[in-house]
Structures are given as C-alpha cells and as structure tokens.
Amino acid sequence: MPGRKASEETRRQQILQAAYDVATQYGLAALTVRTVAQRAGLSTGLVIFHFTSKEHLVVAVLDHLLATTTVLHVTDDIRRIEPPRDRLLALLRREMRRLSSEPGRIRLFFDFWELGFRQRRVRAKMRAELGRYREAFRPIAEEVLRTQPARFAGVTADGLAAVSVSFIKGCAVQSMIDPANVDIDQFLAATQGLFGAQQSVRVVQTGRPSRRQRRLPR
C-alpha cells in the first residue's frame, strides 16, 4: 500500500542518516549494524531488513556521500559573472566553502578511498564520480581558455578542470587537518596568484636555457 511504502522509505532514510552520522563521527571502522541501529533508535533486525548486510549499508553510505560531495551545481548568479575567469574563481570559492564546511565528510571520503584499495566496487564508484565532478568543470574551463589564450598558453580544458578540482580538494583537506585556521579567502588569493604567475612558471619548467644560462660559473 502507498502509505506503507512511504513509511518504509522514511525508515530507510532514517537508518542511512544514522549510518552516515556514525561514519563521519567515528570512521568506517565503527560502522556496524549494531552501532547504526543504536544511533537510529531501531532494532538490528530493521537495519538488516532494509539493507540486507553491513556491506550493503556501507555502499549506501558511499552513494550518499558521493551524491552530496561530487555533484557540481552552477547557479544562475555564478553563470552571470563575466569574464569567464572570474566566473571560475567564484565557483572555486563556493566549492571550497561548501566542502570545507564539514571536515567529517572529507575524513569519510578518504576512509572510502582507502577502502577502495581493497574493494573494487568502492574504487570504481569513487573513480567514476570524481571523473564526473572534474568533467563538470570542463565547459567553464573551455570558456576561460577561449577568452584568455595567452594567460593559459599550453593548457588544455582537461588540465584546467583537473587543477580547479585539485585546488578545491586541497582546501578541503586543509579543513580536515586544521579546521580552526582555514581561511578560504587567503586560499583563493593564493590560487589567483598562481593563475597570474602561470606563464612564468611554464617558462621555468619547459623553457630551454640560453647559452649564457648553460655556462657554469668558474
């Protein structure tokens, strides 16, 4: 009956939220059917009824984590920002704030990353979702490169998208290491400084030294 189905879905979400809370607070090692049942205020039988086993519950927590972590939403206020480089920086700022606001989420993300070395299914899910998150930055990266080709000489859209995600994830990692001293504005200012210095960095890395530069001092 429709009422019963709605009740079962509500119960399933209650259990999933309890499992997520246990995992973010204590880590995946503490996630058991018993601890989740206690957090949800339910019997272990109900947890098994809805999720069959601990393994299925862990995968459900992973799906929930990825759905709320690796999904990029470009809102209208960001779409209206010009030029595209400023739009990308605004998007970076928002994503840095979003992912750094919950250090427990990032710790759980790395817990799953470690688990992925042992479980192929977990590894495949994480790689696929991270790939989709990076790909979501590609359209705006293409716009940036099209409008400022000299600033990003030699950079591809895939490369700029990957670097953008790296900045976001790096900021999130810092929030996990030292949550009391994470300064998003300073982190973004450093990002802008690196973007501004890109051309000179490329010369240092790939430029051929002149004959004078190749001479060794006597």
Asked if residue 126 lies in contact with residue 66, where contact means CB atoms within 8 angstroms, the answer is yes
Q: Identify whether 141 is part of a domain.
A: yes
Q: What is the pLDDT of residue 196?
A: 61
Tell me how far apart the 2 most distant CA atoms of the chain are, in Å. 90
Judgement on whether residues 30 and 77 belong to the same structural domain of the protein: no
Q: How many CB atoms lie within 10 A of CB 143?
A: 17
Asked if residue 174 lies in contact with residue 187, where contact means CB atoms within 8 angstroms, the answer is yes
CA atoms within 13 A on the CB side of 58: 20
pLDDT tier, 194 (very low <50, low <70, confident <90, very high otherwise): low
The residue type at 54: K
Query: Which range marks the domain in which residue 109 is found?
Result: 70-200
Q: What is the pLDDT of residue 216?
A: 34
Quick check: pTM over 0.85?
A: no
* CATH, residue 39: 1.10.10.60
Mean pLDDT of the chain: 84
- What mean pLDDT comes out for the span 63-72? 90
Judgement on whether residues 159 and 87 belong to the same structural domain of the protein: yes
Using CA atoms, how far apart are residues 62 and 173, in angstroms rounded to an integer? Answer: 18
Using CA atoms, how far apart are residues 216 and 218, in angstroms rounded to an integer? Answer: 6
| Per-residue DSSP letter, 52 | S
Number of domains forming the structure of the chain: 2
Q: Identify whether 196 is part of a domain.
A: yes
